[in-house]
């Protein structure tokens, strides 16, 4: 999944890097519908990195398939390396939320430096992919303090190979962005997946 702004960049690019890193270790092609996508900031009132808006359509989102997305957010401080993200992934099972452990860099994982992961995904010196490039949204650290806005843009979500256990069900994901022991932002995403 591609998300763009401030802590959405961090959380979702980490997920994207996860998928790229485990691609060779998975064997089942994944096609799915994602229902009921919602998000909320979950940080402290004075967290410097905050998502202001995020809109995705259609509902359900089909993977693989086309996606329209718009987003805005801001940070009051520069986000520079090392920039850590703690991701907590939970799946609902029999009415209880169960923590999904970190397996092959997918699940509830700690990433010590997202800036390094971004450099693995997009080599330093290369232009940022569209539509980030067009709208002047950076894809490498540091992220300067300020407002970031992505107008409604079209994306294509490709086939994704994921472990068999990460399929049908209700999920919630929380990503906490931090640096030098201080929380910078927190984002919580919930959704349901129905795979083919």
pLDDT score of 30? 56
Instruction: Give me the tens of pLDDT residue by residue for the chain, a chain 196 residues long.
Output: 333 333 343 444 334 334 333 333 333 455 789 999 999 999 999 999 999 999 999 999 998 999 999 999 999 999 999 999 999 999 999 999 999 999 888 899 999 999 999 999 999 989 999 999 999 999 999 999 999 999 999 999 988 776 777 779 999 999 999 999 899 999 999 999 998 7
| The dihedral sign for the CA sequence 158, 161, 167, 170 | negative
In order of start, what are the domains of the chain with their CATH numbers? 6-195 (2.70.220.10)
The predicted model scores a pTM of 0.81
pLDDT score of 29? 52
pLDDT score of 15? 40
Q: Which helix (H) or strand (E) covers residue 192, if one does?
A: strand 182-195
Distance CA 24, CA 93 (A): 28
Q: How many CB atoms are closer than 10 A to CB 93? A: 10
In order, the DSSP letters of 80-146 are: -SS-EEEEEEEEEETTEEEEPB-BTTBSB-EES-HHHHHHHHS-TTSPPPTTTTTTT---SS-B-SE
pLDDT score of 25? 37
């Amino acid at each position: 999944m591609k998300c763009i702004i401030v802590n959405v960049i961090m959380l979702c690019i980490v997920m994207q890097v996860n998928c790229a890193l485990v691609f060779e270790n998975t064997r089942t092609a994944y096609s799915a519908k994602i229902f009921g996508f919602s998000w909320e900031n979950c940080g402290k009132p004075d967290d410097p990195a905050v998502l202001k808006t995020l809109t995705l359509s259609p509902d359900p989102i089909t993977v693989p398939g086309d996606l329209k997305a718009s987003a805005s957010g801001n940070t009051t401080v520069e986000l520079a390396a090392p920039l850590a993200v703690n991701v907590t992934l939970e799946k609902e099972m029999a009415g209880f939320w169960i923590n999904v452990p970190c397996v092959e860099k997918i699940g509830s994982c700690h990433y010590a430096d997202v800036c390094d992961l971004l450099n693995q995904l997009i080599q330093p010196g290369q232009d940022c992919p569209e539509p980030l490039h067009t709208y002047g949204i950076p894809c490498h650290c540091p992220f300067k303090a300020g407002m970031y806005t992505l107008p409604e843009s079209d994306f294509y979500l490709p086939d994704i190979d994921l472990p068999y256990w990460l399929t049908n069900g209700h999920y919630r994901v929380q990503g906490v962005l931090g640096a030098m022991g201080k929380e910078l932002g927190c984002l919580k995403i919930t959704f349901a997946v129905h795979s083919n």
